[in-house]
Structure 1
Amino acid sequence: MTIQWYPGHMAKAKRQFKEKLNLVDIVFELRDARVPASSQNPDIDEVVGNKPRLTILMKTDLADPEVTGEWISYYKKIGQPVLAINANDNNEWKKIHKAAKIALEEDNEKREGKGMQERAIRAIVVGVPNVGKSTLINRIAGRKAAKAANTPGVTQKQQWIKWDKRIELLDTPGMLWPKFEQQEIGYRLALTGAIPDRLLHMDDIALYAMKELKKHYPGALTTRYKLDDQENTLDLPDLLMAITKIRGFRDNYEQGAIMLVNEIRKGILGPISFDRVGEDLWEVENHEE
């Protein structure tokens, strides 16, 4: 199955993003902590250029903390300012202003050298669909400034949001890019909800997820669905059918696949990461070194 989603509003959003970039001091690029490489949009890299950027890893509560730590170390190693955020912890959001000031330290020194007064940091928020942009905006603004949902494509216009006197944010719609370099990227973005389910074959997504779980988290499926030794020897399609029956869906293979994918997305099988530092996917996706 070939996965791709690039509706017209995303092409428009990219043009608007490029036009607005001169209005801001820094780019807040949000990535999903479960897939930091797969949720890195190369179009954003191309447009941002040398503009200061803070990479913010969202949904860390759903990601494997050990793997997230490896990503943070990697970003620091290549000199990319990075911050990991747990949206459920109110204290986490306070870190953003401090991290932004550090990322803008050189620019602020230039302003001071010219005798210019300190003003609010102007930032633009970008990322793939369903990465948590609206959640960040609402937390910072302290109100429902942006519509948040576990559905890609909810935000389709740009809007300015004020955060006290310290930061002004420009929200943007979620953006993908016209063609994924590897289909692995499409599968992983689909698993995080960045692509609408209506465009997917959910059984293919579930089977891909099971393959990754067997490789990196071999006990996750067994623990959640109470699989016995015989069931654990089944090939993946038969195992998915077994799980489907265990959960009471009888022979409804598609419904079983939807259930499994949704439970992975919600973190019911535990914190899981799909991207890992150093894998071939990252070598393809890396545009920063």
Structure 2
Amino acid sequence: MAIQWFPGHMNVTKKAIIDRIKDTDVVIEMLDARLPGSSSNPLLSQLTGHRARLKILNKQDLADPNRTDAWLAWYNAQPSTRALALDAGEKAPAQRLIQACRALAPNRGGMDKPLRVLICGIPNVGKSTLMNTLVGRKAAKTGDEAGVTRIEQRINLADDFYLFDTPGMLWPKIIVEKGGYHLAASGAVGRNAYDDEEVALELIESLKRSYAHLLADRYRLDDVDAIPTRHDELLLEDIGRKRGAMMSGGRVNMAKAAEIIINDFRSAALGRITLETPEEFAAWLARAKVLEAERRALKAERDGPRKGKQTRKDW
């Protein structure tokens, strides 16, 4: 089942971005370094147009460093775009952000033309923690659940550098099904929008291809070479059994096992993991666009005669 989550306050955020973007020089988009493609909001590109943008791959300390380098190269090759990786808890990220933004808008600066920057991102990507680090005090609420920040804030990082923060926002329809599961696994989606076991099985499917050794080490699984070809449900059962998630009669509590692996991924107890490469996500997105176009064409064909009949009746 595809995962979707767009509560009402996100529509308010969308309207706030539309209002703010008219006076914005650079857009910072914070991404989760463990799922850079899945955590990039396609709606943001529509709302911000051709504004220069800085992609921040946050939580790099939790991500696979080799894949982080690949994603940085991918984004830095795009026009009017720069990318850098950091940890939200980095002690002094302000100068790095300021320098990157000034490079993207060299004609802005000074009190008569202050640089105006908008920072956006999905829920639970670490934006509030970063904002608190930038100002050196607890100015924004933080939490490990999606949707904590609800109001816009302005922070002056320099006399001529204004940074506007917005609440976390997803997009109305997630068309990349794999991306939806990755978002849920990371904690970017509200708990009422997904089933733990379903997300855990998709997470295992992603992990076993590139990180079988981490699964074997964490859960003491036998025959690491066979893990990539094993059925996802059997692997989840093994994980539950190894971690004591058992019920009466020797049955594995699959819901508890799912919770264990999701929490281990989020906390990096499994190790440093990135769930997707640039090439993988590009392929998923291309395929999803084709399927979405086919779905819309079928819907238009199906709805067309009905709308036509309604129109003739109105006449």
Is contact 1:42–1:285 with CA below 8 Å preserved after alignment?
no
1:165 to 153, 156, 159: 159
Amino acid at match of 2:206: E
Partner residue, 1:246:
242
Aligned equivalents of 2:268, 2:43: Cα separation in 1: 29
Shift of 1:138: 0.5
* TM-score between both structures, scaled by the size of structure 2: 0.83
Check if 1:255 corresponds to 2:256.
yes
Deviation at 1:170, TM superposition (A): 1.4
Distance 1:166 1:138 in 2: 20
Q: Distance in 1 between the 2:135 and 2:160 partners?
A: 12
Residue 99 (1) aligns with residue 93 (2): no
- The answer (yes or no) to whether the contact 1:97–1:166 under 8 Å persists in 2 is no
Rounded Cα–Cα distance in structure 1 between residues aligned with 2:29 and 2:91: 20
Q: Whole-Å Cα distance in 2 between the matches of residues 88 and 20 of structure 1?
A: 27
Conservation of the 8 A alpha-carbon contact between 1:5 and 1:178: yes
For the 8 Å contact 1:56–1:84, the answer to whether it is kept is: yes
Query: Which amino acid is 1:130 matched to?
Result: N
- Mapped partners of 1:44, 1:241: distance in 2: 39
CA RMSD of the aligned region, Å? 2.1
> C-alpha separation between the residues in 2 aligned to 1:54 and 1:268?
29
Which amino acid is the alignment partner of residue 216 of structure 1?
S
Q: Does 1:177 align with 2:171?
A: yes
* Match of residue 269 from structure 2: 268
Question: Within 2, Cα distance between the matches of 1:46 and 1:149?
Answer: 28
Q: Determine the structure 2 residue equivalent to 1:198.
A: 192
Helix, strand or coil for the counterpart of 2:156?
Answer: strand
Structure with larger RCO (C-alpha < 8 A, sep 6+):
1
1:238 to partner: Cα distance: 2.1
Confirm or deny: 8 A CA contact 1:38 1:285 kept in the other structure: no
Q: CA separation in 2, counterparts of 1:59 and 1:236?
A: 27
- TM-score normalized by the length of structure 1: 0.90
Task: State the AA in 1 paired with 2:74.
Answer: Y
Max radius of gyration: which structure?
2
Residues 137 and 92 of structure 1: CA distance in aligned 2, closer, same or farther (over 3 Å):
closer
The residue aligned with 2:77 is 77
**Structure 2 contact 93–134 (Cα < 8 Å) conserved:** no
Q: Secondary structure at the match of 1:90?
A: coil
Distance in 2 between residues matched to 1:139 and 1:203, nearest whole Å: 35
User: In the aligned structure 2, how far is the partner of 1:200 from the partner of 1:94?
Assistant: 39
**CA distance in structure 2 between the aligned counterparts of 1:93 and 1:143, rounded to whole angstroms:** 14
Q: How many angstroms apart in 1 are the aligned matches of 2:123 and 2:223?
A: 39
Look up the equivalent residue of 2:104 and give its one-letter code.
Answer: A
Is 92-101 or 13-22 further displaced after alignment? 92-101
CA contact under 8 A between 1:29 and 1:126: conserved in structure 2? yes
C-alpha distance in 2 between matches for 1:15 and 1:135? 24
The answer (yes or no) to whether the contact 1:31–1:39 under 8 Å persists in 2 is yes
1:129 aligned residue: 123
Ranges in structure 1 where 5+ consecutive residues have no aligned partner: none
Distance 1:125 1:284, change over 3 A: farther
Cα 1:207–1:163 shift into 2, 3 Å: same
